[in-house]
Amino acid sequence: MGDLRNFLSHGNQSDLVLVNEASLNLIKAIHEQLLKPKTTFDIKSDDVKFFKETTPLSAVLETIRNTDLTQFPIKDGNGKVIGLLTENGITHWLSQHAHEASISIGGTLARDILLLDENKNNFAFIKKDATIYEAEAQFDNQKIDALLVTDSGKNTENLLGIITRFDLVEV
């Protein structure tokens, strides 16, 4: 930015470049984003719904209906995330029970769905002060669907938020 300003102030007038205000503001914004990129804490979804592995499927379905969320971290009895429950797992569970005269949703637990979910391991943890560029690299390198944000990126910590690929596109 300083070089551009010096060129405009002291450069050869025959090489003068006119930069309109909108272009200059865009250059400044890009410069700022490169020097101080947003962190995962800045872009995470605060609305993290997680369930215990013993949560009934009916509670999961009610949450989907009320929130439009479709990815839920599932925790074991010790509070450790053991998988990501997605619509994939629910669909597979329904398809396995489609031949039955009636399906008991109330007796089905989150862990039953998680067993059938092909996407259950498509997540990773990331620390809250990681940059959006680090998050993007983690998505690309690990081929995951969600990043779970914690203080230092460990499974043993409280979940602060969740980031999907869509969240990065919006940035």
Tens of pLDDT, residues 115-152:
999 999 999 999 999 999 999 999 999 989 999 999 99
Confidence of residue 161 (pLDDT cuts 50, 70, 90): very high
Residues 166, 87: one domain?
yes
Query: Domain range for residue 12?
Result: 2-35
Find the mean pLDDT for residues 28-55: 86
Residue 97 pLDDT > 90: no
Please tell me the total count of domains within the chain.
2
Residues 45, 114: one domain?
yes
Residues 8, 48: one domain?
no
- Are 126 and 31 within 8 A, CB to CB? no
Residues 45, 90: one domain?
yes
Q: What backbone torsions phi and psi does residue 52 show, to the nearest 5 degrees?
A: -80, 155
How many CB atoms are closer than 10 A to CB 149? 27
- Are 117 and 91 within 8 A, CB to CB? no
Residues 19, 68: one domain?
no
Residues 12, 63: one domain?
no
- In the chain, the percentage of residues whose pLDDT exceeds 90 is 56
Model pTM? 0.77
**Packing angle, helices 87-97 and 57-67, rounded to 10:** 130
Report the Cα 126 to chain-centroid distance in Å: 10
